[in-house]
């Protein structure tokens, strides 16, 4: 029986599947993006690839395959290397910590006042919002005014702050093929007690998954424009808050992730709110560290809010 259990000739197909999962996890960046931007699509849900280990493990046990069980160490190690750190608790808040909240509030939100109170209840220093429409904007301004006396809005994005704001301007991230009015990016300077910080608030175009794969050309173009704006920023310390319609692993956001650091701890899956599968609401920083990010309870939006602790350097 022992020789049968440890037979190395059984389960080679399962072992091959385990090696494939490990390769896709560890070397996702080398997967071609054509056709259908399949590389970006894989990276959008990359952490979920780890779930493939569960059925492979059960099948390996049923097959009594030593080679398959040994091969499963590869995807387990690859997933732990990439994502294991996100499961660890973040560092304790320090004297140079900012708490920020990022939320796409949805232009169909029927309870903007409740949403505003929920976000303020987390006690952040900064609140970044997207999909602000005129009627709801008045409610957000009124509800947040007492705790956040400083705010700026450009187009459909805005920032509320406990600290003074200055130097606010639009950031041009409109894709070239859009001709209608479209303003989804702003830059401002937050005068924190620890020095000035450039804060960008952005809402990149949506992506769609269809028969042809992932349609993300507009999102990718907008990310490139935003990345160039961040690269040209003269202030050393930068924080980006936004609905980027992509995960931090998605190569389409490389113009941003190559210049800004994402959260070191926390998954904070934010979309869709009813069954969160990916974090497309991001908090990134330069010359600052995003220590921890977490999802907040649902509001009237189809996104979950995310809250992050940032340590300023």
Maximum separation of any 2 CA atoms in the chain, in Å: 75
Q: What is the pLDDT of residues 98-156, one digit of tens each?
A: 999 999 999 999 999 999 999 999 999 999 999 999 999 999 999 999 999 999 999 99
Instruction: Note the pLDDT of residue 31.
Output: 85
Instruction: Note the pLDDT of residue 179.
Output: 86
Q: How far is CA 233 from CA 10, 131, 209, 267, in A?
A: 58, 25, 33, 28
Kindly list the averaged pLDDT for each block of 10 residues, start to end, along the chain of length 313.
58 94 93 82 93 96 91 96 91 88 98 98 98 97 98 98 98 93 96 97 91 84 98 98 97 97 95 97 97 97 98 93
Q: Which CATH class is domain 97-312?
A: alpha beta
CA angle 97, 47, 12 (to 5 degrees): 150
Instruction: Note the pLDDT of residue 7.
Output: 60
Question: Is the CB of residue 37 less than 8 Å from the CB of residue 214?
Answer: yes
Residues 6+ apart with CB under 8 A from 266: 86, 90, 292, 293, 294, 308
Every domain of the chain and the residues it spans: 2-87, 97-312
Give bridge partners of residue 239 from the DSSP assignment.
199, 285
The tokens for 190 are 């937050």
Residues 39-68 as b or e (16 or more Cβ within 10 Å = b): bbbbbbebbebbebbeebbeebeebebbbb
């Amino acid at each position: 029986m022992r020789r049968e259990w440890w037979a190395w000739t059984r389960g080679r197909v399962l072992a091959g599947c385990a090696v494939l999962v490990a390769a896709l996890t560890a070397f996702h960046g080398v997967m071609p993006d054509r056709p259908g931007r399949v590389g970006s699509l894989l990276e959008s849900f990359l952490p979920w690839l780890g779930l493939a280990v569960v059925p492979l493990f059960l099948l390996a046990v049923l097959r009594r395959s030593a080679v398959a069980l040994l091969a499963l160490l590869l995807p387990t190690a690859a997933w732990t290397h990439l994502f294991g750190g996100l499961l660890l608790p973040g560092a304790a808040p320090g004297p140079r910590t900012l708490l920020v909240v990022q939320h796409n509030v949805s232009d169909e939100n029927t309870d903007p006042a409740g949403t505003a109170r929920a976000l303020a209840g987390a006690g952040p220093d900064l609140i970044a919002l997207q999909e602000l429409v005129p009627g709801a904007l008045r409610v957000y301004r009124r509800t947040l005014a007492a705790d956040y006396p400083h705010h700026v809005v450009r187009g459909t994005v805005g920032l509320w702050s406990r600290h003074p704001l200055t130097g606010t301007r639009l950031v041009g991230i409109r894709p070239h093929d859009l001709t209608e009015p479209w303003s989804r990016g702003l830059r401002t300077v937050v005068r924190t007690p620890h020095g000035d910080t450039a804060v960008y608030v952005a809402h990149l175009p949506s992506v769609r998954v269809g028969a042809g794969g992932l349609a993300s050309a507009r999102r990718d173009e907008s990310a490139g424009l935003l990345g160039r704006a961040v690269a040209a920023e003269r202030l050393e310390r930068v924080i980006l808050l936004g609905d980027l319609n992509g995960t931090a692993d998605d190569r389409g956001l490389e113009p941003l992730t190559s210049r800004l650091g994402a959260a070191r701890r926390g998954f904070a899956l934010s979309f869709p709110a009813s069954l969160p599968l990916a974090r497309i609401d991001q908090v990134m920083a330069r010359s600052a560290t995003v220590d921890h990010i977490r999802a907040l309870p649902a509001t009237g939006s189809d996104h979950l809010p995310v809250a992050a602790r940032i340590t300023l350097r």
